[in-house]
Amino acid sequence: MPCYLFTLHAYGSWYPDRPQGYVVRGQGILPSDAEEARRYRQRAAHAPATLEAAQQRAIIAQAVEAAAVLGCRLHFVATEPTHVHLLVSWSTQCTWACVRKSFKKALTIRLKGQLGKRPWFSENGSRKRVTDQDHFDYLVGKYLPDHSGWKWCEGRGEFL
């Protein structure tokens, strides 16, 4: 049964001038780059999106609903103003790309319905396969709970 940590970034929230640097698929983490950030901003069609507390709670509620419809097991959701993490497993033949796309679409529809039509998430996002029980336990016990936004944990059925 595949288990993945999906990360969806708020549109325009992770430009290359972040002090931590930025990621380019296939190149890894690159150092902060103000000039590249300027180019990103010039190409942006919309202002950056920020996921406020109300949006974070809506995202969590929609993720729980989407998991039930998709036949997935949602283990944990953690949010920040700049991104959302979804820890998900499933037993169907769906690929990680199909599952991530389905969650992203459901979350986007919810936000557009509540707050208006605009891009809420960046184009792709990231995915990390959970490799073993220790990895899963670290994500649920440390990494995800340490996020500053709203959280939801399987079995508790409540916002944290």
> What confidence score (pLDDT) does residue 153 get?
95
Do residues 77 and 60 lie in contact, with contact meaning Cβ atoms separated by under 8 Å? yes
Give the homologous superfamily in CATH for domain 3-13+48-153: Transposase IS200-like (3.30.70.1290)
CA-to-CA separations, 10 to 31, 90, 116, 120, 155, in angstroms, rounded? 21, 25, 15, 6, 27
Q: Is pLDDT above 80 for 27?
A: yes
Grade residue 84 by pLDDT with cuts at 50, 70 and 90: very high
**Which pLDDT tens digit goes with each residue over 90-104?**
998 899 999 999 999
Stated pTM of the model: 0.88
> What confidence score (pLDDT) does residue 29 get?
84
Domain boundaries, given as residue ranges, for the chain: 3-13+48-153
Average pLDDT over residues 4-22: 90
22-24 vs 126-129, strand pairing mode: unpaired
Buried residues in 27-36 as b, exposed as e (16+ CB within 10 A): eeeeeebeee
Sorted by sequence, the CB contacts under 8 Å of residue 5 that are 6+ apart come out as 85, 86, 87, 127, 128, 130, 139
Do residues 23 and 29 lie in contact, with contact meaning Cβ atoms separated by under 8 Å? yes
**Which pLDDT tens digit goes with each residue over 103-120?**
999 999 988 887 778 888
Tell me the H-state helices in the chain. 34-43, 53-70, 96-115, 133-138
**Which pLDDT tens digit goes with each residue over 120-137?**
898 878 899 999 999 999
